[in-house]
Amino acid sequence: LNNMPDPALGQKILARLPSLAEKASRRLGRPPVLMEVCGTHTMAIAKSGMRSLLAGHLELRSGPGCPVCVTDQGDIDKMIALAGRPEVTIATFGDMLRVPGTDSSLEVERARGARVEIFYAPADAVEFAAGSPEKEIVFLGVGFETTIPAVALSLELAVAQGLRNYSVLSSHKLVPPVMKALLSDPELKIDGFILPGHVCAVTGRQAFEFISGEYHIPAVITGFEPLDLLASVCLLLNQIADGRPETVNGYTRLVREEGNKKARAIMEKYFEPADALWRGFGLVPQSGLALKKEYSLYDAAARFPLQVPASRPLIGCACGDILKGKLTSPQCPLFAKSCTPLNPVGPCMVSSEGACAAYYQYEWAA
Ligand code: SF4
């Protein structure tokens, strides 16, 4: 708490938590289970020690909030296969490098001679493409509403410059549809959602209204300071205790009711909704984005058709169940044994937003 911008306020919130949790537990007949739906929240929770601070009062679980982790195994295999084409240079965020495919990874393929370049921003990949006209640069589009506008902007730049050697392999994902898939699971035992502040900054609060409106579960859009998280937990417990679920904007310093219209406009200019496969969830209708037909020149899936053998699941890896909130990382039999950040078996141990990596780094004591 001493690392918070306002430790006194943190103490105040924390002092209220036990009684609120008790009231919520009385209504539920068991301690509440809350889910964070954002990899950055997963890391913030682990780093701040919140889970152990709140243990005994409530349980915190991770959801499908890490874009690298939710990318389907078959899509990872396609990216790796694309890296094997001699004319292609893969451009990617660094997190994708070590994600294990069925038989290889981008890192392994790079060591074997494939061209894989790391970029922090998609626009940098466009600049690289402009300076390397002899190369085919394929940007791996992995991310949620937070990242997609930046990828769309890279397409805008490529189109404006008339580049013919820049394309995007879109594995983008939309958060509201997967939340609907999660909420439709009859086995789901989540009593409240900590919603992703950055995603909501683009979508707006209203895009998540259905959580309380249709499914009658409380939800709070949350910022990324420990104080934001504690305040959201309080708001969720209050709603559970009162039996009045709402979708509350707890991050008003960034999130507007209608979101960021400019960001959505550029997304909608280049992409359209498409069915997508998610790790752990399978096919989720209209939960992904494909490039629009008129931009097929920039669509790597259209330009470089691939025949990839059927992917095999990662043996023993429980990432799918962790992403659905059915298991926590230490419940995976491989956690911290055969699966560690140095030797990751699944993506949740690779990604800087992965639940297993967060647990291992901050909450697990050997
Ligand atoms: Fe998969 Fe490793 Fe996490 Fe287990 S600990 S779920 S094997 S990433």
Q: Is residue 159 part of a domain?
A: yes
Q: Indicate if 29 and 153 belong to the same structural domain.
A: no
Q: Indicate if 102 and 128 belong to the same structural domain.
A: yes
Is the pLDDT at 244 greater than 60? The verdict is yes
Model pTM above 0.90: yes
Q: Indicate if 207 and 290 belong to the same structural domain.
A: no
Task: Choose the residue to mutate in 279, 335, 359, 364 for probing ligand 1, maximizing ligand atoms within 8 Å of C-beta.
Answer: 335
Q: Indicate if 32 and 162 belong to the same structural domain.
A: no
Q: Indicate if 15 and 160 belong to the same structural domain.
A: no
- Looking at this predicted complex, what is its ipTM? 0.99
pLDDT at 4: 56
Give the domain extent around 58: 7-66+182-249
Q: Is residue 319 part of a domain?
A: no
Instruction: Kindly report, residue by residue over 224-233, the tens digit of the pLDDT.
Output: 988 999 999 9
Q: Indicate if 274 and 244 belong to the same structural domain.
A: no
The CA–CA distances, whole Å, from 281 to 182, 232, 331 equal: 8, 27, 19
CA–CA dist 88, 115 (Å, integer): 7
Q: Indicate if 240 and 214 belong to the same structural domain.
A: yes
The pair of three-digit structure tokens given for residue 166, joined into one six-digit string: 């820049």
Range 1-8 average pLDDT: 61
Q: Indicate if 134 and 80 belong to the same structural domain.
A: yes
Kindly state if the Cβ of 334 falls inside 6 Å of ligand 1.
Answer: yes
Q: Indicate if 53 and 153 belong to the same structural domain.
A: no
Instruction: Kindly report, residue by residue over 322-343, the tens digit of the pLDDT.
Output: 999 999 999 999 999 999 999 9
Instruction: Kindly report, residue by residue over 84-98, the tens digit of the pLDDT.
Output: 999 999 999 999 999
Kindly state if the Cβ of 322 falls inside 6 Å of ligand 1.
Answer: yes
What interhelical angle do 7-28 and 226-242 show, nearest 10? Answer: 30
CB proximity list for 299: less than 8 A, separation 6 or greater: 167, 168, 170, 290, 291
Task: Choose the residue to mutate in 76, 315, 332 for probing ligand 1, maximizing ligand atoms within 8 Å of C-beta.
Answer: 332
CB proximity list for 336: less than 8 A, separation 6 or greater: 330, 360, 364, 366
Instruction: Kindly report, residue by residue over 124-139, the tens digit of the pLDDT.
Output: 999 999 999 999 999 9
Q: Indicate if 45 and 191 belong to the same structural domain.
A: yes
The count of other CB atoms within 10 Å of the CB of residue 358 is: 27
CATH label of the domain that carries residue 122: 3.40.50.11740
Q: Indicate if 72 and 206 belong to the same structural domain.
A: no
